[in-house]
Amino acid sequence: MTQGGSWIQRSGKRHGNRWLGGALGTAAMAAGHTRERTYLGARHARLVPRLGKQKTIVAVEHSILIAVWHMLTDNVDYHDLGGDYFTKQDPERVMRHIIRQANALGLTLRFDPIPDVA
């Protein structure tokens, strides 16, 4: 984009519909209060330590917007992936994280499979 013969770089933020932004912000904050019972709550809890509250709200807003776009485009109902989505994706990573936390407290852990009750 040129203006007066020089190149002007736009910032990453675009100005959109303020009413949609307000509704998405409210929905994202409500999703954050669900903690880890829903996918959006788990995503919020996972991103807050790394991004901070404000940027996490924007990230969850984006996730909501993407989900709504797919629901409208593909004509499908909303299917929540669940609060344990990230744990199920990479259980070894979660175990390594738990072990690191226990070691930092001076503890050791042993993982034994749960016997089937039947």
What are residue 52's DSSP bridge partners? none
> How far apart are the two ends of the chain, measured CA to CA in Å?
68
* Angstrom distance (rounded) from CA 23 to CA 44: 17
Amino acid 34: pLDDT: 84
Amino acid 116: pLDDT: 79
pLDDT tens, position by position, 67-86: 999 999 999 999 889 888 88
pLDDT tens, position by position, 4-53: 555 566 666 667 888 888 899 999 999 888 877 899 999 999 899 999 99
Helix axes 18-33, 53-74, angle to 10 degrees: 110
pLDDT band at 105 (very low <50, low <70, confident <90, very high): very high
**Which letter, b or e, does each residue of 11-33 get, where b requires 16 or more Cβ atoms within 10 Å of its Cβ?**
eeeeeeeeeeeeebeebbeebbe
- In the chain, what are the domain boundaries? 16-104
- The rounded radius of gyration (Å) of the Cα atoms in the chain is 20
pTM of the model: 0.70
What are residue 2's DSSP bridge partners? 7
